Amino acid sequence: MAEKNSTSTIGAYKEGTVSIICNTVLFGIKLWAGLITGSIALIADAWHTLSDSLSSIIVIIAAILSKKSPDHKHPFGHGRWEQIAALFIALLLGIIAYQFVIESIERLEEHQKTTFGLIAIIVTIISIVIKEGLAQYAFYIAKKSGNISIKADGLHHRTDALSSIVVLVGILCANYFWWMDSVLGIAIALFLFYATYEILKETITKILGEEPPETLIQQIKEIANQVSSDKDLQLHHFHIHNYVTHQELTFHIRLDGHLSIDEGHQIATNIETLINQRWNIDTTIHIEPIGYEHHTD
């Protein structure tokens, strides 16, 4: 478990540092191009890029906080700081998206037109390549470390790359449609809103707790039968809680009511030990007599 936590933290440091450096440079280039052309889409894209740097800073801070060992006030550790960081990133994306929508609508109402040049095209192409490269790097680190906030940061990079593609298409068509720049601003905002939704959906699901995958449930039932092949354990009521640095699994088993407390405890302990050895999951098993119907079943 300590090894997993260390891998997650190191991964966050690496991805966050690379992201901050690249995004800060890109922000300056995009903002310069946006100010020269007067394009709201380019300026919005620039601030979108800068928000990536801010979110990466959040990722690093969360990694430092989540590294703390469990204590009497936080017996499950501090791993969920990574999930809290993902929520902050989602909130940041949502606020930026809202601001872009408002400003784009105002420019539509004022019939403002933007004239793009070769500089805008070059800057946008550079942005697409770098941002997609950062996204792939973040996804690789997230998969290797299991850090959800790094994955959220990768999605942020991906939306920035996609928004830059939209901007590039808009630049190439801007001479034919006066409203193109404002529409692009709204399009970028939609990308941001979608990324916000995806991050919130995954993070909130893990914070609230979820049912384990059916494949895991079946494998646990097989292990339980190996522990006590002559008894009908009737495993049910599975729940899993993700604390990032470790997982907590709970479920119920039904045993013969005539078994002693020692016998029932030994069966449950043996199952818990095997689950921990195989999946590194801490398990708590609730014992019920055969025939008992739980009110939530």
Structure confidence by residue, pLDDT tens digits, 249-266? 888 888 888 888 898 898
What CA–CA distance (Å, rounded) separates 9 from 254? 40
| Confidence label for 4 from pLDDT (cuts 50, 70 and 90) | very low
- Please report the pLDDT score of residue 50 as a whole number: 76
- C-alpha to C-alpha distances, 27 to 52, 54, 168, nearest whole angstrom: 10, 12, 16
- Please report the pLDDT score of residue 217 as a whole number: 85
pLDDT at 218 over 50: yes
State the span(s) of the chain assigned CATH 1.20.1510.10.
2-208
pLDDT at 273 over 80: yes
- Please report the pLDDT score of residue 2 as a whole number: 46
CATH fold of 2-208:
Alpha-lytic protease prodomain-like (1.20.1510)
What CA–CA distance (Å, rounded) separates 273 from 138? 34
Q: Which helix (H) or strand (E) holds 65?
A: helix 40-66
What CA–CA distance (Å, rounded) separates 215 from 79? 25
- C-alpha to C-alpha distances, 13 to 7, 63, 268, nearest whole angstrom: 10, 8, 40
pLDDT at 6 over 70: no
Domain covering 214-289 in this structure, CATH number: 3.30.70.1350
- Please report the pLDDT score of residue 63 as a whole number: 66
In the predicted model, what is the mean pLDDT of residues 19-38? 85
State the span(s) of the chain assigned CATH 3.30.70.1350.
214-289
Residues 81, 83, 85, 88: is their CA dihedral positive or negative? negative
pLDDT per residue as tens digits for the range 186-206:
887 887 788 788 878 877 777
Note whether 33 and 167 are within 8 A (CB): no
pLDDT at 3 over 50: no
pLDDT at 124 over 60: yes
